[in-house]
Structure 1
Amino acid sequence: MTLGKRAFLLIFPVVLTGYLLAAFAVYLAESRSMQSLEQARLSQQLDHLAALYRNEVNQSRSFLYTILEGNAIRRFLSETDESYRNNALGLRLQQSVRSLSDDPKKFLSFSILNPDMSPAYYFENSDDPFAEIGSAQMALVKRLTAGNQLRDWTFLEGPGMRPLIIYSEFIDPTTFSRPLPSAKSSALLIQVAIEPVQFLAMKRSTELEYGVNAEFMISPPSAWHDKLAAGVRLAPSLFLTIDASETHVATGLDKLKLLLGLGALAMSFVSVSLMAVLITRFITNPISALDRQVTTVMNGQRDGILETGAAGEIGRLTRNIKQMHDQSVRALRLVQNASWTDTLTGISNRGHFNSLAATIVQETVEADRPCSLLFIDIDNFKFVNDKYGHEVGDELLRNLASRLRETVDAVIERRVLPPAVLARLSGDEFAVLLQSSPGDGTIRETCAGILSLFSGGFEVRGKQYPVTASIGIAICPVDAANLAELISNADAAMYQAKTTGKNRASRFSRELQAKRDRVRLVQEELRLVDPDEQFHLVYMPIVDDGGKVVGCEALLRWVSPTLGNVRPDEFVPIAESSGQFTKIDCWVIDRAMSEYHLLEQLFGRDTTLAINISSAELHSKSIANHFNDCLDRHGIAPGVIEIELTETYAVTLGDQLRQNIEELRARGFRISIDDFGAGYTSMQQIIEYTADTIKLDRALVANLAREEMLPALKAVIALCHAQNMQVIAEGVDTNEKMAMLSAAGCDNYQGYLISQPLTLEDLGIWSLKRTAELAGRTGQRQLVAGRHRRSGTDGLL
């Protein structure tokens, strides 16, 4: 049998099989694509349904809070005349409810239930003038009254009733705020019920499209395999699922299967016939000899290809293949060497390290024997690079790589361990992978040797440079089960070493992992947070020597549905480091200015409103423009707004920052330096501060507000007064501190002795009580003075 015939018989089944496999692969890919497309489309529709549902819930909640903030419901509940309340005030409350509805035809109801579950008021937007609360809604009232929740949103549906989204919240009848859990039994239950028309319409449309009914579940749906189905969370304990019919995409798949099968068969016959003719005539015979020679080279039986001396195409092909093979061998060696070596230091780069370390880590995990990763970062390297130039920085890295190799190799050789993997991962970051057991001293000795290289600075060309090293340690498989996790954990441990003082080694721990997870969770919640729903402001009064309130500081509070109460000292640094603080600052500024008129009503027209913002924001003009926009929008005089910055901003007081602050001052805003004395201040910076007010940090107040420190306290305050700055003392929590500060000439005071941060409602109550107390003290002083005057007169007579 000739080579051509054998080629035909060999190629035909191969080509046929290839086309069939290709058709099968295309079918699988297309079927999966169709399935995925339908699945994505179904999921998208369910997500849209969830969005409509949540929008209805948000509208219900906004509706409820708007009603609670109005006077109609307060007058209704406080009225003792039942007839007048049910008629006149009930009608006014009904008008308030109707005025808040965007669609007069949309069904909504508003109900107030007494603590004994009897209806105090009920109104619904329907044609039935004698409408009452439905039995299903009353059953929900009983369940909420018996439970521990203070608010709830529920979807109710059933035969003979409208499908409703009901938002419920218990309200203290006195303060109109959420009661304490212990006072729930005496609280009113306010409910807003809305018929989710858009949600129901889209739900019916989706059910018609997929031929099945959507189901509501109270627990997360189990995973589906090879099915067109999806589920979405509507509420913490409410899920909507759709399990589509299996025939939904089956028709299209059957057509696709038939077309691909016929096409594969036809293409196989055409391709094989053409290939057999061409291969036999032009390729098979001439290339056989060359093929044998190339095969021997590829199998490693020969180092190179020999020229056959043949003429024509085969001769040229032989010479070209030989030249290409020789060039490929040389290029492969160069590329391999360049791709695995750091060009600056000559040690392994990140790619080579990942290749070697991945193998070692995998073997470590499989054999259950440990290995350790040291993640090394050079402290202050950027300072050296910027001050002394990149040439010095590059020379420092080259010397460091060489000395690291010597140090590590000495430890490995002394302890008879497998070779360590040393690499430069990026600019000033290095990694050392040791195959040693924890506790045998290898890690401790290696870290000590590395840190000793920086004792007294790092020497390059006879000169010492002020750099040190921070080392993070992670051990596999104790701390990580794969290379990526090992590097990440060692990197986290390295940052822990930096934050605890640098020039040291730090071991990765579960506490550090928990801290990273917490930071990551807070970052995610901040990225998704709706400030209007989860943020609120509290205000801390500032008083003068006479006890008069001269200002209030707006403080941000965050209550997350996932994390609960998150302290500002936790989420503010995270927001600043992740670049998410701009929207928070903008919200705080706008909300604080919108509420200023209430502060003005409580304390007078000259009351100062202090707003804290991130100092980093003032490096751009956007936040300054936002201040001006909010000022114009809310109609406030700029002189009553005091922008509080932490004193750390003065350490990097650049030209742009200085210019932005001066523009704000020129507009009339006041600038206040917060946390003065927290650890960054020098006398020169005090003189150079561009500010109207200095706020003494609570730690500084605690240290100086003592009798023996009174001269130092007077000197600090006098220096601030010499710079035409007012002085406010923070952390005033005892009468002794207040007396010392007053004796030292302090202008104003702030602290828990005066008041803790309060909401606007509580601030109003506090203001009334404080006014009464001050009036009582004044009257008592006048009475005592009068007695003294009478006593003196009697003595003269």
Structure 2
Amino acid sequence: MTLGKRTFLLLFPTVLFGYMLAAVLVYNAQSRAMLALEQARLSQKLDHAAALFANTVSQARNFYYTIAESDAVHQFVSEPDAAYRSRSLGMRLQQSIRQLLDDPKVFLSFTVLRPDMEEAYYFENSNNPFAELSPQQIELGRKLQEGGEVRTFAYLADAPTQPIIVYSALLDPITLTRPIPSARSQALLMQVGTEPKEFLRLVRQIETDYGSRAVFSDEAPPKVADTLSSVQLPTGQYLSVTIAPQHISAAMRRLKWLLVTGVLAMAFVSIGLTLLLMRRFVIRPITALDQEVTRVMNGEIDAIGETGATVEVGRLTRNIRALHEQSQQSMNLIQRASWTDSLTGISNRSHFQTLAAKAIERAMTYGGHCSLLFIDIDNFKFVNDKYGHGVGDELLRHLARSISEAVSRITVARALPPPILARLSGDEFAVMILAPPGEGATRAACDAILDLFEGGFLLRDKSYPVTASIGVALCPHDAQSLNELVANADAAMYQAKTSGKNRSSRFSRVLQDKRDRVRQIREELQQIDPDDEFHLVYMPVVDPDGKVMGCEALLRWTSPILGRVGPDEFVPIAETSGLFSKIDHWVIDRAIRDHAALAGLFGSDTILAINISSAELHQDDIADRFIEAVARHGVDPHLIEIELTETYSVSLSATAERVLSRLAGKGFGISIDDFGAGYNSLQQLIDYRADAIKLDRGIVEKLAGTGQIEALTALIALCHAREMSVVAEGVDTHEKFSALRHAGCDLFQGYLISRPLVLTELAAWALTRSSSYGIIATEPQAPLLIA
């Protein structure tokens, strides 16, 4: 992380905390002020509403006085003829009212009620042709008649059509003036009703703005909350509005987001200015010093230059320059030692990786090419063990010099850059040649190195039986990174080794396909469901008379992706990948479960042989697996034989010996499989105890198939002397069977008897095979005993 970023991460939380603290204080103060401001705004709007209400009341009063003093009303009231009054005078009164209206669409009602509160006249300027006097207005007139007042204003919020302001007055029917108290009961009642449109519009706006309904009451509302505001109307009623909580919370949220945005903006601006100043006077000089030191460390320059800094940073630059000059020689010595192989004096793995990576990077950047030769010395361990480590070390030193000289002659002759030579590990070397393909430099280098081992490697006039296997990979044709290039060259080296050693092999698509195949098998094994893709086949084992004594369980895999994969291919991959534990557990459980079916075919004493992975012997729980499986399926442990590969059993560890001893103590049989396939067979017979030895098909082919009956007899006799029964694998001809039988072999297994079969096929084979067990021994020309 750069100094600028660290400075930002250190300063930003502090500045942000300070602004946030200030914002919290502002928020608390502003929240109270905002509530007071909203109350003031609401009170102002309510006062405005009261003023509009008073204006409507004044208009209603003026209209009343105007119409009450008109001739139309006087004639209407004084006319005794009811029909004429209703028809002619009523229409005249209606025309007078309409003439007084400034807006013909404004709502207005005029009512004349007789002393008994019966309607004498009602007019309503509205769109409703069937409008009639509301009961609320009649009730209002009755209250006025019964009270002590002669005039009153009232606001009918629940009128049938719309809320209206009603001005009511009692008039003497003769003089049309204020009635005397004694004539109050004979007075007419006139009412003028108007709609307070502006007042109602403002009230609805207040309700919308503050999220609360306006309340009209006859008494002043109690002050139960700070959010309640009210105003008294000219009618004596009170209009009250409570500010809804969500209105306040919405305002608070707006204030909060405004403060948060402001805090972040001010924090970033403050930090930006601070960083700008620090970058100019602190970070930039330190960065320049860091760049100088980095260039020195990368070998681009030899000394630290001036950075133009003053005071502390300038003094630091001078001190670092002095320290660098003092330690330069020591650093060179340490670096040379850390990059040099102590035995041979050439580059070690670390130095090679550094140099080779740079060469590959240049090749990829500028379109160059390079070749990697991965060299492994064959039989070096043999020389080391036989002649001693001193001779082995001297051989490696001489070999490093010889390879360096041989390759350097080629690169000098072709005017190529110097090669990169390194010792990667014990007897592994690497050479990188910076040459384009087609010039023959790589081929010539391989031939020159192989020529060093022609007739053995000479050291102090003595020839040592070592050779070289060389793998070649090209960049960028075969790989575009160092790791991939080394892996491909290593794969090509193993190809050369398996092809006969003392040769070179170029990495090819075939090798890539093999690696891809291994990767695909490994990936499929990682996610395999054994019950879906694995199955077992069984290969019968017979005695000299042809009687089935047991069967060997063999694993088969049919992958939905890869198809049928042989055990010779997937078992080594599973073992090296640590995936075989799950497979072995499945095989053990499934095979022991099938023992009952085998016993039903060949008898209750049928022996079941199960192969286990050599790697499983390092795990104590493999014995638990066998013991739990025989107990779960009710099988006698004496009928189960555990087969170990011969090459592994030579190097039994303490854990493996403990596991085998435990299994043998429980009654399980132990056999050594593929005997004769390795290099330590005789040592096994002497050092390790087993119940049976299974001769590998290779040794059976060599001894039984070539007439070496004496050697075969001696080998079987040695096994019998060690109290081991002998099972011959790969018995596929009558001649092999006869030779093995005469040599004293106990049991036989091979395609002469039967190929591996699933249980259903094995049952058919058991039914159709010959009932004469001696047919193999007595009739060499008889047909094979195969299903």
TM-score, normalising length from structure 2? 0.57
Equivalent position of 1:702 in the other structure = 701
Q: Take 2:559 and 2:290, find their aligned partners in 1: how far apart are those partners?
A: 69
What SS does the corresponding residue of 1:595 show, helix, strand or coil? helix
Q: Contact 2:671/2:691 (CA < 8 Å) preserved in 1?
A: yes
Pairing 1:342–2:351 present = no
Q: Contact 2:371/2:474 (CA < 8 Å) preserved in 1?
A: yes
Q: Contact 2:285/2:307 (CA < 8 Å) preserved in 1?
A: no
Equivalent position of 2:266 in the other structure = 266
What SS does the corresponding residue of 1:344 show, helix, strand or coil? coil
Pairing 1:552–2:551 present = yes
Please state how far the C-alpha of 1:677 moved relative to its aligned partner: 2.6
Matches within 5 A, 1:675-686: 675-686=674-685
Matches within 5 A, 1:322-361: 322-328=318-324, 338=334, 342-345=339-342, 346-350=345-349, 352-361=351-360
The 1:560–1:329 alpha-carbon spacing in structure 2 relative to 1, beyond 3 Å, is farther
Q: Contact 2:649/2:672 (CA < 8 Å) preserved in 1?
A: no
Q: Take 1:446 and 1:489, find their aligned partners in 2: how far apart are those partners?
A: 18
Equivalent position of 2:640 in the other structure = 641
Please state how far the C-alpha of 1:584 moved relative to its aligned partner: 1.6
Q: Contact 2:545/2:773 (CA < 8 Å) preserved in 1?
A: no
Equivalent position of 2:768 in the other structure = 769
Equivalent position of 2:723 in the other structure = 724
Q: Contact 1:470/1:497 (CA < 8 Å) preserved in 2?
A: yes
Please state how far the C-alpha of 1:462 moved relative to its aligned partner: 9.4
Please state how far the C-alpha of 1:530 moved relative to its aligned partner: 1.7
Equivalent position of 1:622 in the other structure = 621
Q: Contact 1:339/1:352 (CA < 8 Å) preserved in 2?
A: no
Matches within 5 A, 1:238-637: 262=262, 265-271=265-271, 318-328=314-324, 338=334, 342-345=339-342, 346-350=345-349, 352-364=351-363, 370-379=369-378, 400-426=399-425, 428-438=427-437, 440-453=439-452, 468-637=467-636
What SS does the corresponding residue of 2:341 show, helix, strand or coil? coil
Please state how far the C-alpha of 1:571 moved relative to its aligned partner: 0.8
Q: Take 1:301 and 1:502, find their aligned partners in 2: how far apart are those partners?
A: 46
Q: Contact 2:646/2:678 (CA < 8 Å) preserved in 1?
A: no
Q: Take 2:655 and 2:704, find their aligned partners in 1: how far apart are those partners?
A: 37
Identity of aligned pairs, percent?
52
The 1:565–1:257 alpha-carbon spacing in structure 2 relative to 1, beyond 3 Å, is farther
What SS does the corresponding residue of 1:473 show, helix, strand or coil? strand
The answer for unaligned runs of 5 or more in structure 1 is 1-13, 24-255, 782-797
Q: Take 2:445 and 2:425, find their aligned partners in 1: how far apart are those partners?
A: 21
Q: Take 2:663 and 2:619, find their aligned partners in 1: how far apart are those partners?
A: 12
Q: Contact 2:478/2:507 (CA < 8 Å) preserved in 1?
A: yes
Matches within 5 A, 1:641-660: 641-654=640-653, 656-660=655-659
Please state how far the C-alpha of 1:314 moved relative to its aligned partner: 7.1
Q: Take 1:320 and 1:463, find their aligned partners in 2: how far apart are those partners?
A: 62
Q: Take 1:360 and 1:278, find their aligned partners in 2: how far apart are those partners?
A: 40
Q: In the alignment, residue 322 of structure 2 is paired with which amino acid? A: D
Q: Contact 2:341/2:347 (CA < 8 Å) preserved in 1?
A: no
The 1:709–1:335 alpha-carbon spacing in structure 2 relative to 1, beyond 3 Å, is same
Q: In the alignment, residue 769 of structure 1 is paired with which amino acid? A: T
What SS does the corresponding residue of 2:592 show, helix, strand or coil? helix
What SS does the corresponding residue of 1:691 show, helix, strand or coil? coil
Q: Take 2:598 and 2:723, find their aligned partners in 1: how far apart are those partners?
A: 27
Q: In the alignment, residue 323 of structure 2 is paired with which amino acid? A: Q
Q: Would you say how many aligned residue pairs link Structure 1 and Structure 2?
A: 522
The 1:401–1:731 alpha-carbon spacing in structure 2 relative to 1, beyond 3 Å, is closer
Please state how far the C-alpha of 1:656 moved relative to its aligned partner: 4.7
Please state how far the C-alpha of 1:760 moved relative to its aligned partner: 1.3
Please state how far the C-alpha of 1:417 moved relative to its aligned partner: 1.9
TM-score, normalising length from structure 1? 0.56
The 1:756–1:369 alpha-carbon spacing in structure 2 relative to 1, beyond 3 Å, is same
The answer for unaligned runs of 5 or more in structure 2 is 14-255, 780-787
Please state how far the C-alpha of 1:608 moved relative to its aligned partner: 0.3
What SS does the corresponding residue of 1:652 show, helix, strand or coil? coil
Spell out, residue by residue over 1:580-610, the C-alpha distance to the aligned partner (whole angstroms, 9 max, x if none). Answer: 2222222211211111111112211111000
Equivalent position of 1:96 in the other structure = none
The 1:580–1:457 alpha-carbon spacing in structure 2 relative to 1, beyond 3 Å, is farther
- Return the index of the structure with the highest Cα Rg: 2
Equivalent position of 1:145 in the other structure = none
Q: Take 2:714 and 2:341, find their aligned partners in 1: how far apart are those partners?
A: 55
Q: In the alignment, residue 266 of structure 2 is paired with which amino acid? A: A
Q: Contact 2:288/2:307 (CA < 8 Å) preserved in 1?
A: no
What SS does the corresponding residue of 1:703 show, helix, strand or coil? helix
Matches within 5 A, 1:48-87: none
The 1:508–1:777 alpha-carbon spacing in structure 2 relative to 1, beyond 3 Å, is closer
The 1:606–1:646 alpha-carbon spacing in structure 2 relative to 1, beyond 3 Å, is same
Spell out, residue by residue over 1:198-251, the C-alpha distance to the aligned partner (whole angstroms, 9 max, x if none). Answer: xxxxxxxxxxxxxxxxxxxxxxxxxxxxxxxxxxxxxxxxxxxxxxxxxxxxxx
The 1:266–1:258 alpha-carbon spacing in structure 2 relative to 1, beyond 3 Å, is same
Q: Contact 1:307/1:319 (CA < 8 Å) preserved in 2?
A: no
Q: Take 2:753 and 2:471, find their aligned partners in 1: how far apart are those partners?
A: 46
Q: Take 2:693 and 2:542, find their aligned partners in 1: how far apart are those partners?
A: 15
Equivalent position of 1:753 in the other structure = 752
Q: Take 1:562 and 1:470, find their aligned partners in 2: how far apart are those partners?
A: 35
The 1:590–1:273 alpha-carbon spacing in structure 2 relative to 1, beyond 3 Å, is closer
Spell out, residue by residue over 1:157-216, the C-alpha distance to the aligned partner (whole angstroms, 9 max, x if none). Answer: xxxxxxxxxxxxxxxxxxxxxxxxxxxxxxxxxxxxxxxxxxxxxxxxxxxxxxxxxxxx
Q: In the alignment, residue 266 of structure 1 is paired with which amino acid? A: M
The 1:722–1:359 alpha-carbon spacing in structure 2 relative to 1, beyond 3 Å, is closer
Q: Take 1:717 and 1:315, find their aligned partners in 2: how far apart are those partners?
A: 93
Structure 1 vs Structure 2 CA RMSD: 4.8
